[in-house]
Amino acid sequence: MYQLILDLAPIRHSFEVNCAKADGTPVDPTGTPTVTIYEEGGADGTYDSGQIAGSPFTIAKINAVTGNYGILVLKNLFTVGKIYRALFQCIVDGISAKITDRYLAIEAPQFKANVTNLDAAVSSRSSHTAAQVWAAGGRTLTTPGDYKATVSALALEANVQAHAAAALTADAKLEFIKQINGGRWKIVGNQMIFYKEDNTTVVATFNLFDQNGNPSMVNVFDRQKV
Q: What is the pLDDT of residues 37-86, one digit of tens each?
A: 999 877 777 888 899 999 999 999 999 999 999 999 999 999 888 899 99
3-class SS at 4? strand
Q: ∠ CA(43), CA(73), CA(226), 5° rounding?
A: 70
CA distance 18 to 101: 12
pLDDT at 52: 94
pLDDT at 150: 58
Q: Do the Cβ atoms of 5 and 200 come closer than 8 Å? A: no
Q: Do the Cβ atoms of 221 and 211 come closer than 8 Å? A: yes
3-class SS at 194? strand
CA distance 185 to 190: 13
CA distance 42 to 178: 25
CA 17, distance to chain mean position in Å, is 18
DSSP assignment of 7-66: TTS-SEEEEEEE-B-TTS-B-PPEEEEEEEEEEE--SSSS----B-TT-SEE-EESTT-T
Q: Do the Cβ atoms of 184 and 131 come closer than 8 Å? A: no
Beta bridge partners of 38: 51, 85
3-class SS at 124? helix
According to DSSP, residue 202 is labeled: E
CA distance 88 to 100: 6
Element (H, E) at 75: none
Question: E-assigned strands of 81-127?
Answer: 83-92, 95-106
Q: Do the Cβ atoms of 52 and 105 come closer than 8 Å? A: no
3-class SS at 111? helix
pLDDT at 181: 78
Q: Which residues of the chain have pLDDT under 70?
A: 1, 110-160, 163-168, 170
Single pTM value for the model: 0.48
